[in-house]
Amino acid sequence: MCSKKVYEIVSLPKTSIIIVFHNEAWSTLLRTVHSVISQSSSGLLEEIILVDDASESSKYWLGHQLEEYVATLPLRVIVERTRSRKGLVRARIQGALASRGDVLTFLDSHCESTKGWLEPLLDRISKDRTKVVCPVIDTISDKTFEYIPVRGNVPIGGFSWYPDFTWIDTPKREMDRVNNDPTEALRSPTMAGGLFSIERKYFFQLGSYDSGFKTWGAENLELSFRIWQCGGSIEIVPCSHVGHVFRSKSPYSYDEDPGITLVRNTRRTLEVWTDSFKNIFYSLNPQLQVTGYGDISNRVKLRETLGCKSFRWYLETVYPEHTLPLEFKIIGMVRNEMSAMCVDVFARGEKAKGDAKVSLFPCHGIGMSQIFVYNAFNQIQHDNMCLDAHFYDEEVAYSDCPRSAEITTASWEYDPITSTIMNAATRKCLDAVKSQEGDIRFVSTTNCNNTQESQRWILTDSGADERMWADY
Ligand code: UD2
Ligand code: MN
């Protein structure tokens, strides 16, 4: 269906391609550059701007060799260099300032564009300059470098509790809006961050990027909130595909603990864009509050100048599927009294069929993977996952939270007097069971017996003092 679409190329805006990199390999960098040149229809490319973010001299191919190589290419290719390591945000700003296309298209430095990837992106922008558009991101294996297309329905972007970018199933409301046409651009609450096109003037009008961001992380959510709240929109365009090497671990050196950089970037996002909803994020992830976030006054002023809408408006209108607990009974840990162990989403039992089985880990008190919300529907929720029991066996697993008060196997009755948690459907009680080694690892449901210590649980309150955020 995509290949049948016809675009009037002469009427489309030209784009600059901006690729920032730090220590990228020669092969992956050139794969990105060459695929852009060979897979873009002529007339759509203004130039390619490579921004070297102070790669180390041991990556000698990124020095003169790169400049000499790109001079042989049949297109204007500019190599910009940051004077010292700036991080991807400031490197992208430098690239954008050096560019001259009507549109900016950002790519990571380890991508492969596919035939006809630009037309459907530029077409959307030519119809509405406030649209920020993303291709579907296919996978390039980091083991074999083979190209693996996304199969089936195209997901859109959301965010998790941490908060972190996540893919979510495209909701029915959105498929209805596009009349189930699989080629139609899908509105997306957030973008992954690396691959997108935006009109150049609009990019600067919206405040380009927050130059207070360091190295890596969270700029994707910051830009996403900003685009929507300030009158633009984000779309994922199913007829445009670009592959990306998803790496299993971060290859960079940082000038500080990477966790601190990410927290600072994340807090700048929350403090500027999420109004009082930031308190929900801080309750769900208390570790965020340990690090400062620097001066944000310019970004707050930008938000005022642009007259941007509230985060409440964004959640209600753009992302009603978000998992933030706007109403809840308890936020805290699910602590087993006998063992001093807590339900932990990162702990995955070795007996688990799949990896969904609920396991315990010593309580660490720093929130994160041990934070659960006893929500308004009596479900025990972590982000999009809820503790779910079965009628046919004793296993407790994580499953997608039912978003209603209907009594299901994901409904639990917590009795703070007896410290028991009974499943409202199976009427069995949450129990901590021993693994073969004898240490308590798993959560299951067994017949209720409140003299049994392993069935005693405390839903500890982390001190979040608002029971309802709805007034914000
Ligand atoms: C994703 C995005 C990435 C960025 C990131 C959050 C995709 C496919 N990728 O993670 O673009 O939004 O989330 O920050 O959506 N780089 C520098 N200087 C640095 C660090 C990185 O230039 O100090 C370059 C790096 O070489 C790469 C780009 O920035 O070209 C993105 O970094 P990444 O590939 O490590 O990010 P990724 O794909 O894990
Ligand atoms: Mn990448």
Q: Nearest C-alpha to atom 34 of ligand 1 is from which residue? A: 108
Q: What is the pLDDT of residues 107-138, one digit of tens each?
A: 999 999 999 999 999 999 999 999 999 999 99
Identity at 262, one-letter amino acid code: L
- Decide: 215 in ligand 1 pocket, CB within 6 A: yes
Note whether residue 232 is domain-resident: yes
Q: Do the Cβ atoms of 210 and 89 come closer than 8 Å?
A: yes
244 CA → ligand 2 middle, Å: 7
Helix locations, 105-170, DSSP H: 118-127
Q: In whole angstroms, what is the distance from residue 430 CA to residue 453 CA? A: 11
Among the listed residues 113, 110, 115, 114, the one whose alpha carbon sits nearest the alpha carbon of residue 145: 110
Q: In whole angstroms, what is the distance from residue 14 CA to residue 16 CA? A: 7
Give me the CATH number covering residue 347.
2.80.10.50
Note whether residue 238 is domain-resident: yes
Give me the CATH number covering residue 102.
3.90.550.10
Q: In whole angstroms, what is the distance from residue 8 CA to residue 14 CA? A: 13
Q: In whole angstroms, what is the distance from residue 91 CA to residue 247 CA? A: 21
Ligand nearest to the CA of 251: 1
Note whether residue 419 is domain-resident: yes
Q: What is the pLDDT of residues 50-74, one digit of tens each?
A: 999 999 999 999 999 999 999 999 9
Q: In whole angstroms, what is the distance from residue 190 CA to residue 273 CA? A: 13
DSSP character for 315?
Answer: I
Ligand nearest to the CA of 81: 1
Same domain, 17 and 164: yes
Number of domains in the chain: 2
- Decide: 196 in ligand 1 pocket, CB within 6 A: no
Same domain, 341 and 234: no
Ligand 1 atom nearest the C-alpha of 254 is 23
216 CA → ligand 1 middle, Å: 6
- Decide: 216 in ligand 1 pocket, CB within 6 A: yes
Same domain, 213 and 119: yes
Note whether residue 278 is domain-resident: no
Alpha carbon 250 to its chain centroid, in Å, reads 16
- Decide: 95 in ligand 1 pocket, CB within 6 A: no
Ligand 1 atom nearest the C-alpha of 19 is 30
Give the residues across from 135 on adjacent strands.
Answer: 237
CB burial readout 176-205, b (16+ within 10 A) else e: eeeeeeeebbbbbbbbbbbbbbbbbebbee
- Decide: 217 in ligand 1 pocket, CB within 6 A: yes
Same domain, 228 and 337: no
Note whether residue 425 is domain-resident: yes
pTM for the structure as a whole:
0.94
Same domain, 346 and 225: no
Identity at 91, one-letter amino acid code: A
Note whether residue 293 is domain-resident: no
* Residues of the domain holding 333: 328-468
21 CA → ligand 1 middle, Å: 8
Note whether residue 339 is domain-resident: yes
At 349 the pLDDT is 56
Ligand nearest to the CA of 196: 1
Ligand 1 atom nearest the C-alpha of 24 is 26
pLDDT band at residue 463 using 50, 70 and 90 as cut-offs: low
Q: In whole angstroms, what is the distance from residue 169 CA to residue 285 CA? A: 24
Q: In whole angstroms, what is the distance from residue 12 CA to residue 226 CA? A: 26
Same domain, 454 and 339: yes
Same domain, 341 and 450: yes
Same domain, 215 and 334: no
Select the more confidently predicted residue: 270 or 471.
270
Q: What is the pLDDT of residues 380-430, one digit of tens each?
A: 999 999 999 999 999 999 999 999 999 999 999 999 999 999 999 999 999
Q: What is the pLDDT of residues 143-199, one digit of tens each?
A: 999 999 988 899 999 999 999 999 999 999 999 999 999 999 999 999 999 999 999
Of 223, 245, 267, which residue constitutes the final position of a domain? 245
Among the listed residues 34, 50, 63, the one whose alpha carbon sits nearest the alpha carbon of residue 98: 50
Helix locations, 190-326, DSSP H: 200-205, 219-229, 258-273, 278-284, 297-306, 311-313
Q: Nearest C-alpha to atom 12 of ligand 1 is from which residue? A: 193
Q: State whether the Cα torsion 381-385-389-394 is positive or negative.
A: negative
Note whether residue 265 is domain-resident: no
Q: What is the pLDDT of residues 323-363, one digit of tens each?
A: 999 988 999 999 998 888 999 998 865 544 444 689 999 98
Of 211, 245, 279, which residue constitutes the final position of a domain? 245
Of 217, 245, 273, which residue constitutes the final position of a domain? 245
